[in-house]
Chains A and B, each alone.
Chain A
Protein backbone atom coordinates (compact mmCIF):
# COMPACT_ATOMS: atom_id res chain seq x y z
CA UNK A 1 0.00 0.00 0.00
CA UNK A 2 1.00 3.58 -0.58
CA UNK A 3 2.84 4.98 2.48
CA UNK A 4 0.86 8.24 2.21
CA UNK A 5 -2.36 6.25 2.28
CA UNK A 6 -1.25 4.49 5.45
CA UNK A 7 -0.24 7.76 7.08
CA UNK A 8 -3.49 9.53 6.14
CA UNK A 9 -5.60 6.59 7.33
CA UNK A 10 -3.68 6.56 10.60
CA UNK A 11 -4.30 10.29 11.11
CA UNK A 12 -7.95 9.97 10.08
CA UNK A 13 -8.68 7.10 12.47
CA UNK A 14 -6.73 8.62 15.34
CA UNK A 15 -8.40 12.03 15.03
CA UNK A 16 -11.82 10.42 14.57
CA UNK A 17 -11.27 8.59 17.85
CA UNK A 18 -10.15 11.88 19.33
CA UNK A 19 -13.50 13.46 18.35
CA UNK A 20 -15.34 10.86 20.41
CA UNK A 21 -13.01 10.61 23.38
CA UNK A 22 -11.98 14.25 23.91
CA UNK A 23 -13.42 15.64 27.16
CA UNK A 24 -13.46 19.24 25.93
CA UNK A 25 -15.96 19.91 23.09
CA UNK A 26 -13.63 22.48 21.50
CA UNK A 27 -10.94 19.78 21.25
CA UNK A 28 -13.54 17.49 19.68
CA UNK A 29 -14.26 20.06 16.97
CA UNK A 30 -10.54 20.55 16.30
CA UNK A 31 -10.07 16.78 15.95
CA UNK A 32 -13.02 16.70 13.54
CA UNK A 33 -11.33 19.38 11.42
CA UNK A 34 -8.16 17.24 11.35
CA UNK A 35 -10.30 14.27 10.23
CA UNK A 36 -11.69 16.31 7.34
CA UNK A 37 -8.17 17.26 6.31
CA UNK A 38 -7.02 13.65 6.20
CA UNK A 39 -10.15 12.73 4.20
CA UNK A 40 -9.25 15.48 1.74
CA UNK A 41 -5.80 13.92 1.52
CA UNK A 42 -7.46 10.62 0.58
CA UNK A 43 -9.42 12.38 -2.16
CA UNK A 44 -6.17 13.82 -3.51
CA UNK A 45 -4.64 10.33 -3.57
CA UNK A 46 -7.66 9.25 -5.66
CA UNK A 47 -6.92 12.15 -8.05
CA UNK A 48 -10.18 13.88 -7.09
CA UNK A 49 -8.79 17.41 -6.67
CA UNK A 50 -12.12 19.16 -6.92
CA UNK A 51 -13.71 17.02 -4.21
CA UNK A 52 -10.67 17.56 -1.96
CA UNK A 53 -10.81 21.35 -2.31
CA UNK A 54 -14.58 21.55 -1.89
CA UNK A 55 -14.44 19.27 1.15
CA UNK A 56 -12.01 21.70 2.79
CA UNK A 57 -13.92 24.82 1.77
CA UNK A 58 -17.36 23.58 2.83
CA UNK A 59 -16.62 21.43 5.88
CA UNK A 60 -13.35 22.71 7.35
CA UNK A 61 -13.80 26.30 6.17
CA UNK A 62 -17.46 26.99 6.82
CA UNK A 63 -19.41 24.36 8.76
CA UNK A 64 -16.71 23.69 11.35
CA UNK A 65 -16.19 27.43 11.91
CA UNK A 66 -19.88 27.63 12.78
CA UNK A 67 -19.59 24.60 15.08
CA UNK A 68 -16.65 26.18 16.87
CA UNK A 69 -18.55 29.48 17.04
CA UNK A 70 -21.54 27.86 18.77
CA UNK A 71 -19.47 25.67 21.11
CA UNK A 72 -17.31 28.59 22.22
CA UNK A 73 -20.50 30.31 23.36
CA UNK A 74 -22.02 27.25 25.02
CA UNK A 75 -19.12 25.85 27.03
CA UNK A 76 -17.30 28.90 28.17
CA UNK A 77 -16.25 27.63 31.59
CA UNK A 78 -17.64 24.09 31.80
CA UNK A 79 -14.73 21.71 31.38
CA UNK A 80 -16.78 18.50 31.14
CA UNK A 81 -20.24 17.77 29.86
CA UNK A 82 -22.83 16.53 32.40
CA UNK A 83 -23.18 12.76 32.31
CA UNK A 84 -25.96 11.39 30.15
CA UNK A 85 -28.39 8.83 31.63
CA UNK A 86 -27.51 5.16 31.10
CA UNK A 87 -30.47 4.61 28.77
CA UNK A 88 -29.22 7.29 26.38
CA UNK A 89 -25.75 5.71 26.38
CA UNK A 90 -27.17 2.24 25.58
CA UNK A 91 -29.41 3.66 22.85
CA UNK A 92 -26.46 5.49 21.29
CA UNK A 93 -24.31 2.35 21.40
CA UNK A 94 -27.07 0.26 19.74
CA UNK A 95 -27.71 2.87 17.04
CA UNK A 96 -24.01 3.30 16.27
CA UNK A 97 -23.46 -0.47 16.29
CA UNK A 98 -26.27 -1.13 13.83
CA UNK A 99 -24.94 1.62 11.52
CA UNK A 100 -21.53 -0.08 11.63
CA UNK A 101 -23.19 -3.44 10.82
CA UNK A 102 -25.01 -1.96 7.83
CA UNK A 103 -21.82 -0.32 6.53
CA UNK A 104 -19.85 -3.56 6.87
CA UNK A 105 -22.64 -5.52 5.16
CA UNK A 106 -22.86 -3.01 2.33
CA UNK A 107 -19.11 -2.82 1.75
CA UNK A 108 -18.06 -6.44 2.16
CA UNK A 109 -18.80 -7.40 -1.45
CA UNK A 110 -17.27 -4.30 -3.00
CA UNK A 111 -14.39 -4.99 -5.36
CA UNK A 112 -11.81 -2.42 -6.42
CA UNK A 113 -12.53 -1.10 -9.92
CA UNK A 114 -10.77 -2.96 -12.69
CA UNK A 115 -9.79 -6.01 -10.64
CA UNK A 116 -12.52 -8.52 -11.39
CA UNK A 117 -15.20 -6.54 -13.22
CA UNK A 118 -12.97 -5.60 -16.13
CA UNK A 119 -14.05 -1.93 -16.06
CA UNK A 120 -11.02 0.24 -16.80
CA UNK A 121 -10.30 2.84 -14.11
CA UNK A 122 -10.52 6.36 -15.45
CA UNK A 123 -7.92 8.38 -13.56
CA UNK A 124 -9.33 11.69 -14.85
CA UNK A 125 -12.82 11.12 -13.41
CA UNK A 126 -12.22 13.38 -10.42
CA UNK A 127 -11.09 16.42 -12.46
CA UNK A 128 -13.28 19.54 -12.48
CA UNK A 129 -14.25 19.39 -16.16
CA UNK A 130 -15.14 15.68 -16.09
CA UNK A 131 -17.21 16.14 -12.96
CA UNK A 132 -18.96 19.18 -14.44
CA UNK A 133 -19.83 17.33 -17.65
CA UNK A 134 -21.24 14.45 -15.64
CA UNK A 135 -23.30 16.74 -13.41
CA UNK A 136 -24.69 18.80 -16.26
CA UNK A 137 -25.58 15.87 -18.54
CA UNK A 138 -26.48 12.73 -16.58
CA UNK A 139 -27.53 14.35 -13.30
CA UNK A 140 -28.92 17.69 -14.45
CA UNK A 141 -32.30 17.58 -12.68
CA UNK A 142 -31.09 16.52 -9.20
CA UNK A 143 -28.22 19.01 -9.45
CA UNK A 144 -30.49 21.90 -10.38
CA UNK A 145 -33.00 20.95 -7.67
CA UNK A 146 -30.23 20.92 -5.07
CA UNK A 147 -29.01 24.33 -6.21
CA UNK A 148 -32.54 25.76 -6.01
CA UNK A 149 -32.73 24.39 -2.46
CA UNK A 150 -29.48 26.17 -1.57
CA UNK A 151 -30.70 29.40 -3.14
CA UNK A 152 -33.88 29.24 -1.04
CA UNK A 153 -31.79 28.68 2.09
CA UNK A 154 -29.64 31.69 1.26
CA UNK A 155 -32.62 33.95 0.60
CA UNK A 156 -34.06 32.75 3.92
CA UNK A 157 -30.84 33.65 5.73
CA UNK A 158 -30.86 37.15 4.23
CA UNK A 159 -34.53 37.55 5.21
CA UNK A 160 -33.74 36.55 8.81
CA UNK A 161 -30.85 39.00 8.88
CA UNK A 162 -32.94 41.90 7.59
CA UNK A 163 -34.03 44.45 10.15
CA UNK A 164 -37.75 44.55 10.93
CA UNK A 165 -39.49 47.91 10.77
CA UNK A 166 -39.04 49.87 13.98
CA UNK A 167 -36.66 47.33 15.53
CA UNK A 168 -33.38 48.37 17.14
CA UNK A 169 -30.76 45.72 17.78
CA UNK A 170 -28.19 47.71 19.69
Chain B
Protein backbone atom coordinates (compact mmCIF):
# COMPACT_ATOMS: atom_id res chain seq x y z
CA UNK B 1 0.00 0.00 0.00
CA UNK B 2 1.29 3.43 -0.87
CA UNK B 3 1.29 6.19 1.69
CA UNK B 4 0.64 9.85 1.19
CA UNK B 5 1.04 12.73 3.60
CA UNK B 6 -2.29 14.43 4.26
CA UNK B 7 -1.37 17.64 2.48
CA UNK B 8 -0.17 15.72 -0.59
CA UNK B 9 -3.51 13.96 -0.81
CA UNK B 10 -5.37 17.25 -0.41
CA UNK B 11 -3.40 18.93 -3.15
CA UNK B 12 -4.20 16.01 -5.49
CA UNK B 13 -7.90 16.37 -4.68
CA UNK B 14 -7.77 20.14 -5.21
CA UNK B 15 -5.98 19.70 -8.54
CA UNK B 16 -8.49 17.09 -9.72
CA UNK B 17 -11.43 19.29 -8.66
CA UNK B 18 -9.85 22.26 -10.46
CA UNK B 19 -9.33 20.25 -13.65
CA UNK B 20 -12.83 18.79 -13.44
CA UNK B 21 -14.42 22.23 -12.95
CA UNK B 22 -12.69 23.50 -16.09
CA UNK B 23 -13.55 20.37 -18.08
CA UNK B 24 -17.19 20.48 -17.03
CA UNK B 25 -17.39 24.21 -17.76
CA UNK B 26 -15.90 23.56 -21.21
CA UNK B 27 -18.47 20.93 -22.04
CA UNK B 28 -21.23 23.09 -20.56
CA UNK B 29 -20.75 25.41 -23.54
CA UNK B 30 -21.35 22.40 -25.79
CA UNK B 31 -24.25 21.13 -23.68
CA UNK B 32 -25.85 24.56 -23.76
CA UNK B 33 -25.92 24.53 -27.57
CA UNK B 34 -27.13 20.96 -27.80
CA UNK B 35 -29.91 21.57 -25.25
CA UNK B 36 -30.89 24.83 -26.95
CA UNK B 37 -31.04 23.00 -30.27
CA UNK B 38 -33.09 20.20 -28.74
CA UNK B 39 -35.57 22.61 -27.12
CA UNK B 40 -35.92 24.65 -30.32
CA UNK B 41 -36.12 21.59 -32.57
CA UNK B 42 -32.86 22.34 -34.39
CA UNK B 43 -29.82 20.21 -35.18
CA UNK B 44 -27.24 22.10 -33.12
CA UNK B 45 -23.44 21.80 -33.40
CA UNK B 46 -22.53 18.67 -35.38
CA UNK B 47 -19.62 19.74 -37.63
CA UNK B 48 -16.54 19.64 -35.36
CA UNK B 49 -15.75 16.03 -34.57
CA UNK B 50 -18.26 13.23 -33.93
CA UNK B 51 -21.60 14.72 -32.72
CA UNK B 52 -19.82 18.10 -32.63
CA UNK B 53 -17.86 17.04 -29.54
CA UNK B 54 -14.82 19.10 -30.56
CA UNK B 55 -16.89 22.29 -30.73
CA UNK B 56 -15.50 23.67 -27.39
CA UNK B 57 -11.98 23.23 -28.80
CA UNK B 58 -12.90 25.19 -31.91
CA UNK B 59 -14.43 27.90 -29.72
CA UNK B 60 -11.27 28.09 -27.61
CA UNK B 61 -9.10 28.51 -30.71
CA UNK B 62 -11.44 31.22 -31.95
CA UNK B 63 -11.34 33.03 -28.57
CA UNK B 64 -7.56 32.91 -28.30
CA UNK B 65 -6.86 34.12 -31.83
CA UNK B 66 -9.30 37.04 -31.89
CA UNK B 67 -8.00 40.59 -31.68
CA UNK B 68 -7.39 41.83 -28.16
CA UNK B 69 -8.96 45.26 -27.96
CA UNK B 70 -8.63 47.95 -25.29
CA UNK B 71 -11.28 50.69 -25.58
CA UNK B 72 -10.06 54.29 -25.45
CA UNK B 73 -10.13 55.84 -21.96
CA UNK B 74 -10.42 52.44 -20.32
CA UNK B 75 -8.58 51.78 -17.08
CA UNK B 76 -6.07 49.24 -18.46
CA UNK B 77 -5.16 47.49 -15.20
CA UNK B 78 -8.70 47.08 -13.92
CA UNK B 79 -9.89 46.13 -17.43
CA UNK B 80 -7.65 43.05 -17.21
CA UNK B 81 -8.25 42.45 -13.48
CA UNK B 82 -12.04 42.23 -13.99
CA UNK B 83 -12.25 38.94 -15.92
CA UNK B 84 -9.42 37.44 -13.82
CA UNK B 85 -11.36 38.16 -10.61
CA UNK B 86 -14.53 36.66 -12.11
CA UNK B 87 -12.66 33.43 -12.87
CA UNK B 88 -10.78 33.28 -9.54
CA UNK B 89 -13.89 33.74 -7.39
CA UNK B 90 -15.76 31.18 -9.48
CA UNK B 91 -13.05 28.55 -8.93
CA UNK B 92 -12.48 29.23 -5.22
CA UNK B 93 -15.74 27.94 -3.79
CA UNK B 94 -15.35 24.31 -4.89
CA UNK B 95 -12.53 23.87 -2.32
CA UNK B 96 -14.86 22.98 0.56
CA UNK B 97 -17.43 20.86 -1.31
CA UNK B 98 -17.33 17.20 -0.23
CA UNK B 99 -17.20 15.28 -3.50
CA UNK B 100 -17.19 11.91 -1.78
CA UNK B 101 -17.03 10.03 1.51
CA UNK B 102 -13.83 8.53 2.93
CA UNK B 103 -11.47 6.22 1.05
CA UNK B 104 -9.33 3.91 3.16
CA UNK B 105 -5.99 2.42 2.08
CA UNK B 106 -4.53 0.29 4.82
CA UNK B 107 -4.80 2.35 7.97
CA UNK B 108 -5.06 5.70 6.21
CA UNK B 109 -8.38 7.48 5.73
CA UNK B 110 -8.72 10.04 2.98
CA UNK B 111 -11.52 12.53 2.39
CA UNK B 112 -12.59 13.11 -1.20
CA UNK B 113 -12.71 16.82 -0.43
CA UNK B 114 -10.30 19.72 -0.87
CA UNK B 115 -10.41 21.23 2.61
CA UNK B 116 -12.63 20.13 5.48
CA UNK B 117 -13.37 23.22 7.61
CA UNK B 118 -16.12 23.80 10.12
CA UNK B 119 -17.19 26.99 8.33
CA UNK B 120 -17.75 25.42 4.90
CA UNK B 121 -21.16 26.96 4.37
CA UNK B 122 -19.89 30.43 5.32
CA UNK B 123 -16.97 30.02 2.91
CA UNK B 124 -19.34 29.23 0.03
CA UNK B 125 -21.54 32.17 0.94
CA UNK B 126 -18.56 34.53 1.25
CA UNK B 127 -17.02 33.53 -2.08
CA UNK B 128 -20.38 33.77 -3.86
CA UNK B 129 -20.79 37.30 -2.50
CA UNK B 130 -17.36 38.22 -3.88
CA UNK B 131 -18.26 37.00 -7.37
CA UNK B 132 -19.84 40.32 -8.30
CA UNK B 133 -16.52 42.20 -8.12
CA UNK B 134 -15.29 40.79 -11.41
CA UNK B 135 -18.41 42.03 -13.18
CA UNK B 136 -18.40 45.41 -11.42
CA UNK B 137 -14.73 46.20 -11.93
CA UNK B 138 -14.77 45.06 -15.55
CA UNK B 139 -17.91 47.04 -16.30
CA UNK B 140 -16.58 50.21 -14.69
CA UNK B 141 -13.11 49.97 -16.23
CA UNK B 142 -14.57 49.68 -19.76
CA UNK B 143 -15.47 53.41 -19.76
CA UNK B 144 -18.75 52.68 -21.52
CA UNK B 145 -22.18 53.66 -20.26
CA UNK B 146 -23.77 50.34 -21.16
CA UNK B 147 -21.00 48.45 -19.35
CA UNK B 148 -21.42 50.69 -16.31
CA UNK B 149 -25.18 50.14 -16.26
CA UNK B 150 -24.59 46.39 -16.47
CA UNK B 151 -22.10 46.56 -13.61
CA UNK B 152 -24.47 48.57 -11.43
CA UNK B 153 -27.31 46.17 -12.18
CA UNK B 154 -25.08 43.22 -11.26
CA UNK B 155 -24.17 44.84 -7.94
CA UNK B 156 -27.72 45.66 -6.86
CA UNK B 157 -29.08 42.32 -8.05
CA UNK B 158 -26.34 40.38 -6.28
CA UNK B 159 -26.82 42.21 -2.96
CA UNK B 160 -30.60 41.90 -3.08
CA UNK B 161 -30.63 38.16 -3.69
CA UNK B 162 -27.79 37.45 -1.28
CA UNK B 163 -30.09 38.32 1.63
CA UNK B 164 -32.75 35.79 0.73
CA UNK B 165 -30.06 33.20 -0.09
CA UNK B 166 -28.39 33.68 3.30
CA UNK B 167 -31.69 33.31 5.11
CA UNK B 168 -32.57 30.11 3.26
CA UNK B 169 -29.14 28.79 4.32
CA UNK B 170 -29.92 29.72 7.95
CA UNK B 171 -32.94 27.41 7.85
CA UNK B 172 -30.68 24.54 6.70
CA UNK B 173 -28.26 25.46 9.47
CA UNK B 174 -31.07 25.27 12.02
CA UNK B 175 -31.95 21.67 11.19
CA UNK B 176 -28.35 20.51 10.74
CA UNK B 177 -26.68 22.37 13.60
CA UNK B 178 -23.34 22.57 11.80
CA UNK B 179 -21.69 24.73 9.13
CA UNK B 180 -19.50 21.91 7.82
CA UNK B 181 -20.77 20.72 4.42
CA UNK B 182 -19.39 17.25 5.12
CA UNK B 183 -21.34 16.95 8.37
CA UNK B 184 -24.50 18.18 6.63
CA UNK B 185 -24.07 15.49 3.97
CA UNK B 186 -23.44 12.73 6.49
CA UNK B 187 -26.52 13.73 8.50
CA UNK B 188 -28.73 13.15 5.47
CA UNK B 189 -28.11 9.42 5.54
CA UNK B 190 -27.58 7.38 8.70
CA UNK B 191 -26.99 3.63 8.66
CA UNK B 192 -29.99 1.64 9.86
CA UNK B 193 -32.30 4.65 10.08
CA UNK B 194 -34.93 6.03 7.75
CA UNK B 195 -33.28 9.42 7.15
CA UNK B 196 -34.65 11.83 4.57
CA UNK B 197 -32.72 14.31 2.43
CA UNK B 198 -32.99 17.95 3.37
CA UNK B 199 -35.23 18.74 0.37
CA UNK B 200 -38.09 17.01 2.23
CA UNK B 201 -37.48 19.10 5.35
CA UNK B 202 -36.78 22.36 3.52
CA UNK B 203 -38.93 22.57 0.37
CA UNK B 204 -39.54 26.35 0.66
CA UNK B 205 -35.90 26.99 1.50
CA UNK B 206 -34.78 25.00 -1.53
CA UNK B 207 -37.00 26.96 -3.90
CA UNK B 208 -35.70 30.26 -2.46
CA UNK B 209 -32.12 29.02 -2.79
CA UNK B 210 -32.72 27.87 -6.37
CA UNK B 211 -34.16 31.22 -7.46
CA UNK B 212 -31.32 33.09 -5.75
CA UNK B 213 -28.78 30.77 -7.39
CA UNK B 214 -30.14 31.78 -10.80
CA UNK B 215 -29.82 35.45 -9.82
CA UNK B 216 -26.31 35.08 -8.38
CA UNK B 217 -24.96 33.29 -11.45
CA UNK B 218 -26.56 35.89 -13.80
CA UNK B 219 -28.53 33.26 -15.67
CA UNK B 220 -31.76 33.81 -17.57
CA UNK B 221 -34.39 34.82 -16.40
CA UNK B 222 -32.18 37.03 -14.20
CA UNK B 223 -29.36 37.90 -16.65
CA UNK B 224 -30.14 41.62 -16.49
CA UNK B 225 -26.42 42.65 -16.21
CA UNK B 226 -25.84 41.38 -19.77
CA UNK B 227 -29.30 42.06 -21.12
CA UNK B 228 -28.58 42.45 -24.85
CA UNK B 229 -31.96 43.96 -25.76
CA UNK B 230 -31.32 46.95 -23.49
CA UNK B 231 -27.57 47.18 -22.86
CA UNK B 232 -25.86 45.87 -26.05
CA UNK B 233 -23.79 43.31 -24.14
CA UNK B 234 -24.02 44.62 -20.59
CA UNK B 235 -20.84 44.54 -18.56
CA UNK B 236 -18.86 42.71 -21.27
CA UNK B 237 -19.82 45.03 -24.15
CA UNK B 238 -16.20 46.19 -24.64
CA UNK B 239 -14.57 42.83 -24.06
CA UNK B 240 -13.17 40.67 -26.83
CA UNK B 241 -10.87 37.70 -27.22
CA UNK B 242 -10.10 35.48 -24.21
CA UNK B 243 -11.04 38.19 -21.69
CA UNK B 244 -14.62 37.80 -22.89
CA UNK B 245 -14.00 34.05 -22.83
CA UNK B 246 -13.08 34.18 -19.14
CA UNK B 247 -16.34 35.99 -18.30
CA UNK B 248 -18.45 33.46 -20.22
CA UNK B 249 -16.42 30.59 -18.79
CA UNK B 250 -16.70 31.78 -15.18
CA UNK B 251 -20.48 31.74 -15.57
CA UNK B 252 -20.38 28.01 -16.33
CA UNK B 253 -17.95 27.32 -13.47
CA UNK B 254 -20.38 29.17 -11.20
CA UNK B 255 -23.25 27.02 -12.44
CA UNK B 256 -21.24 23.87 -11.73
CA UNK B 257 -20.35 25.02 -8.21
CA UNK B 258 -23.83 26.19 -7.32
CA UNK B 259 -25.27 22.90 -8.61
CA UNK B 260 -22.81 21.03 -6.40
CA UNK B 261 -23.82 23.16 -3.39
CA UNK B 262 -27.51 22.50 -4.00
CA UNK B 263 -26.87 18.76 -4.33
CA UNK B 264 -24.91 18.76 -1.06
CA UNK B 265 -27.27 20.93 0.97
CA UNK B 266 -30.63 19.62 -0.21
CA UNK B 267 -30.18 16.41 -2.19
CA UNK B 268 -28.01 14.31 0.05
CA UNK B 269 -24.62 15.03 -1.53
CA UNK B 270 -22.71 11.81 -2.07
CA UNK B 271 -25.40 9.67 -0.40
CA UNK B 272 -27.65 7.45 -2.47
CA UNK B 273 -30.56 5.25 -1.40
CA UNK B 274 -29.78 1.84 0.13
CA UNK B 275 -26.01 2.46 0.18
CA UNK B 276 -25.54 0.77 3.56
CA UNK B 277 -27.63 -2.23 2.48
CA UNK B 278 -25.49 -2.50 -0.67
CA UNK B 279 -22.28 -2.31 1.38
CA UNK B 280 -23.52 -4.98 3.81
CA UNK B 281 -24.57 -7.17 0.89
CA UNK B 282 -21.04 -7.00 -0.56
CA UNK B 283 -19.59 -7.91 2.83
CA UNK B 284 -21.98 -10.72 3.75
CA UNK B 285 -22.86 -12.32 0.40
CA UNK B 286 -19.76 -11.63 -1.70
CA UNK B 287 -17.20 -12.02 1.08
CA UNK B 288 -15.57 -8.59 0.55
CA UNK B 289 -13.64 -6.78 3.23
CA UNK B 290 -15.53 -3.93 4.88
CA UNK B 291 -12.91 -1.37 3.81
CA UNK B 292 -13.01 -2.26 0.11
CA UNK B 293 -16.81 -2.39 0.14
CA UNK B 294 -16.80 1.07 1.72
CA UNK B 295 -14.38 2.32 -0.96
CA UNK B 296 -16.69 1.03 -3.68
CA UNK B 297 -19.69 2.74 -2.06
CA UNK B 298 -17.66 5.99 -1.84
CA UNK B 299 -16.85 5.86 -5.55
CA UNK B 300 -20.49 5.09 -6.43
CA UNK B 301 -21.50 8.01 -4.19
CA UNK B 302 -19.16 10.35 -6.06
CA UNK B 303 -20.69 9.20 -9.35
CA UNK B 304 -24.12 9.81 -7.83
CA UNK B 305 -23.15 13.32 -6.73
CA UNK B 306 -21.99 14.15 -10.23
CA UNK B 307 -25.24 12.77 -11.64
CA UNK B 308 -27.13 15.17 -9.35
CA UNK B 309 -24.86 18.04 -10.40
CA UNK B 310 -25.40 17.30 -14.11
CA UNK B 311 -29.16 17.15 -13.53
CA UNK B 312 -29.03 20.63 -12.00
CA UNK B 313 -26.86 21.96 -14.83
CA UNK B 314 -29.42 20.61 -17.30
CA UNK B 315 -32.14 22.34 -15.27
CA UNK B 316 -30.27 25.67 -15.51
CA UNK B 317 -30.08 25.33 -19.31
CA UNK B 318 -33.66 24.11 -19.63
CA UNK B 319 -34.86 27.26 -17.80
CA UNK B 320 -32.65 29.49 -19.95
CA UNK B 321 -34.19 28.32 -23.20
CA UNK B 322 -37.74 28.25 -21.82
CA UNK B 323 -38.39 31.42 -19.82
CA UNK B 324 -38.11 35.02 -21.06
CA UNK B 325 -36.09 37.59 -19.14
CA UNK B 326 -37.62 39.56 -16.26
CA UNK B 327 -37.93 43.32 -16.38
CA UNK B 328 -35.58 45.06 -13.95
CA UNK B 329 -38.25 46.38 -11.55
CA UNK B 330 -39.89 42.94 -11.53
CA UNK B 331 -36.56 41.42 -10.53
CA UNK B 332 -36.14 43.82 -7.62
CA UNK B 333 -39.72 43.40 -6.48
CA UNK B 334 -39.41 39.63 -6.53
CA UNK B 335 -36.23 39.79 -4.46
CA UNK B 336 -37.24 42.29 -1.82
CA UNK B 337 -40.97 41.90 -1.38
CA UNK B 338 -41.49 38.20 -2.07
CA UNK B 339 -38.33 36.16 -1.49
CA UNK B 340 -37.09 37.89 1.68
CA UNK B 341 -40.44 37.76 3.56
CA UNK B 342 -40.81 34.16 2.37
CA UNK B 343 -37.34 33.34 3.69
CA UNK B 344 -38.17 34.90 7.08
CA UNK B 345 -41.40 32.89 7.15
CA UNK B 346 -39.40 29.76 6.33
CA UNK B 347 -37.07 30.41 9.27
CA UNK B 348 -40.02 30.86 11.64
CA UNK B 349 -41.71 27.74 10.27
CA UNK B 350 -38.52 25.69 10.62
CA UNK B 351 -38.08 26.94 14.18
CA UNK B 352 -41.66 25.98 15.05
CA UNK B 353 -41.29 22.52 13.47
CA UNK B 354 -38.07 21.91 15.41
CA UNK B 355 -39.73 23.13 18.62
CA UNK B 356 -42.64 20.72 18.21
CA UNK B 357 -40.30 17.91 17.27
CA UNK B 358 -41.62 17.32 13.75
CA UNK B 359 -38.19 17.47 12.08
Contact = CB atoms under 8 A, between A and B. Distances in A.
B132 A53 contact: no
A122 interface: no
B107 interface: no
Given A26-B140, A154-B340, A158-B341, A50 B132 contact: no
A57 B119 CA distance: 12
A161 B337 contact: yes
A57 B122 contact: yes
Given A53-B123, A57-B129, A170-B329, A69 B155 contact: yes
B70 to A, nearest CB: 18
Contacts of B130: 56, 60-61
A163 B119 contact: no
B106 to A, nearest CB: 31
Main secondary structure, interface of B, reads helix
A137 B108 CA distance: 40
Contacts of A145: none
A66 interface: yes
B332 A68 contact: no
Nearest to A157: B336
A65 B152 contact: no
Interface stretch (B5-13, B156-164, B258-266): B156-164
Interface string B301-341: 00000000000000000000000000101001100110011
A19 interface: no
Contacts of B158: 65
A46 to B, nearest CB: 14
Contacts of B155: 65-66, 68-69
B122 A72 contact: no
A83 interface: no
A33 B357 CA distance: 44
Contacts of B148: 72, 76
Contacts of B156: 69
B126 A61 contact: yes
B129 A62 contact: yes
B118 A127 contact: yes
Contacts of B332: 161
Given A50-B119, A57-B122, A65-B158, 11 more contacts: A26-B140, A57-B125, A60-B126, A60-B129, A62-B162, A65-B132, A68-B136, A69-B156, A127-B118, A154-B163, A161-B336
Interface of B: 78, 117-119, 122-123, 125-126, 129-130, 132-133, 136-137, 140, 148, 151-152, 155-156, 158-159, 162-163, 179, 327, 329, 332-333, 336-337, 340-341
